[in-house]
Amino acid sequence: MIELRTRSARPADLDTVLTFWKAAAEGTSISDDREGVERLLARDPESLILAVEVPPLGRSRERGREGELVGTVIAGFDGWRCHLYRLAVHPERRRQGIGSALLAAAEERFVQLGGRRGDAMVLVRNETAHHAWRAAGYAPQEQWRRWTKPLAD
């Protein structure tokens, strides 16, 4: 088991996060670019939660350097509902408790904000994610279908 720290993303993390999503996240969104994530952090600075591996004891840890980014989740709260997006764990680090730690941090944030229920965007084809979400206590709502419309070209 790795030693892990969860924290909110900072503007300096954005390039690393976007690169990480290309390797670790399924699917893409029209807002998966620097401008979109900058807007997210400007509106809700605590919403993008990172899981960072704590480096082993030694020089890098003593200097306060962080280790590698190993996971992300967006825990968005609109004042009414709690929405989870971009739960992504590095492919080589899965099944080590990283996703669970990220969801715990997101759910704690929601409770502090007064949220009562979290919902997650999960790709239909991502069977691996389905198992992870079920294990975390989430269930699909088959009676709902997401409808979308791009607002820009």
Homologous superfamily of 4-135: Gcn5-related N-acetyltransferase (GNAT) (3.40.630.30)
Q: Give pLDDT, residue 142.
A: 86
Q: Give pLDDT, residue 124.
A: 86
Q: What is the pLDDT along the chain (153 residues), one digit of tens a residue?
A: 678 999 999 999 999 999 999 989 876 676 778 999 999 999 999 999 999 998 777 655 555 567 899 999 999 999 899 999 999 999 999 888 999 999 999 999 999 999 999 999 888 888 888 988 999 999 998 888 778 777 876
Q: Where are the alpha helices (DSSP H) in 12-122?
A: 14-24, 34-43, 59-62, 98-113
